Amino acid sequence: GKQTHSSLIKFCMMMTMSESRVHFHFFSLLLLCCVSPSSLANIKFTKNDPALGQDACRHHQIQALMQFKNEFDSSSCNENNYFQEIYCDNTTGAITKLQLPSGCLIGILKPSSSLFGFHHLRYLNLSHNNFISSSLPSEFGNLNKLEVLSLSSNGFFGQVPSSFSNLSLLSQLDLSHNELTGSFPLVQNLSKLSFLKLSYNHLSGTLNPNSNLFEMNNLRYLNLAFNNFSSKLPSELGNLNRLEVLSLSSNGFFGQVPPTISNLTSLTQLYLHQNEFTGSFPLVQNLTKVVYLELSNNHFSGTIPFS
């Protein structure tokens, strides 16, 4: 049970394209801050495969990366943790993976940030930083080659911009543990999403039966827990028949759970606790793979008919 979907819950993705991994050390970072562009040719970076050569990351990409770092206060951070994982395409030298989950960056993520010039990014993880007083810039929509985007635990506030609809290649999106508000994000074209985590925000309103959420037929993980949604669950929830993990806990969902939930035959985990559900629980004899079921702190009556 747990092992079947552990990789999904862990939110990880191995990149399959031809890339080089770059480990940035403090000494190299100091050099990058001090040398002229012509001197950059003499700086070498360690990669996981020496056969890939020393120039996979183009100099202008490295300069842009340092410019991005310098947009923030990073004085309290261990210098070796600035850039945990960076991959560059072997052919183009463009940065395609950038992971900075170390809590090093403090400041406002501005629409003019050099981050939004990395148009070849496929994987971006900025989780666990402190982008104080920052809304989500609409310029994220410029990064339309992204397949994985994690912005969790940053303090972002406001609404999710509609420009996220441009990220049509996304398979994983994590915006959890922020201060996001408004209704369910009006993002379209995200038909490839398999992982969507919006928990621990202040999203509110209803789940509209016509929401594009119910057209995301590839979803395997959906977490809307710990928000302020207040509505009945649309029967269209049953359209998401590839779901393995569904968490709607700690919201204000009310009424009866729709019978169409029995269509979710791939479910292994179902969390509906701490809502305002009423009535009897629907017949769920098809949910034979469920190993975690949490229904507490609701107003259900009768028995749970699993057979």
Query: pLDDT tens across 190-247, in order?
Result: 999 999 999 999 999 999 999 899 999 999 999 999 999 999 999 999 999 999 999 9
In this predicted model, which residue has the larger pLDDT, 43 or 192? 192
Query: How much is the pLDDT for 38?
Result: 30
Among 22-26, 93-97, 130-134, 218-222, top mean pLDDT goes to 218-222
Task: Identify the band that residue 302 occupies on the pLDDT scale cut at 50, 70 and 90.
Answer: confident
Among 27-31, 32-36, 103-107, 232-236, top mean pLDDT goes to 232-236
CA distance 88 to 96: 5
What percentage of the chain has pLDDT greater than the value 90? Answer: 63
Helix, strand, coil fractions of the chain, as percent rounded to 5? 20, 20, 55
Q: To 10 degrees, what angle do helices 26-34 and 59-69 make? A: 100
Task: Identify the band that residue 83 occupies on the pLDDT scale cut at 50, 70 and 90.
Answer: low
Task: Identify the band that residue 306 occupies on the pLDDT scale cut at 50, 70 and 90.
Answer: low
CA distance 154 to 296: 30
Question: Contact 244/268 with Cβ under 8 angstroms?
Answer: yes
In this predicted model, which residue has the larger pLDDT, 164 or 281? 164
Query: How much is the pLDDT for 175?
Result: 98
Average pLDDT over residues 154-172: 96
CA distance 60 to 51: 22
pLDDT of residue 289 exceeding 50: yes
In this predicted model, which residue has the larger pLDDT, 194 or 81? 194
Average pLDDT over residues 289-302: 94
Task: Identify the band that residue 79 occupies on the pLDDT scale cut at 50, 70 and 90.
Answer: low
pLDDT of residue 15 exceeding 50: no
Average pLDDT value for the chain: 82
Alpha-carbon separation of residue 101 from 56, 81, 84, 104, 129 (angstroms) = 23, 9, 8, 8, 7
Query: How much is the pLDDT for 85?
Result: 81
How much is the pTM? 0.82
| The pairing of beta strand 245-247 with beta strand 269-271 | parallel
Average pLDDT over residues 99-114: 88
**Lowest mean pLDDT across 22-36, 130-144, 151-165:** 22-36
Query: pLDDT tens across 59-72, in order?
Result: 889 899 889 989 99
Query: How much is the pLDDT for 57?
Result: 84
pLDDT of residue 130 exceeding 50: yes
**In sequence order, what are the residues at sequence separation of 6 or more whose Cβ sits closer than 8 angstroms to the Cβ of residue 38?**
none
Query: How much is the pLDDT for 148?
Result: 98
Query: How much is the pLDDT for 86?
Result: 87
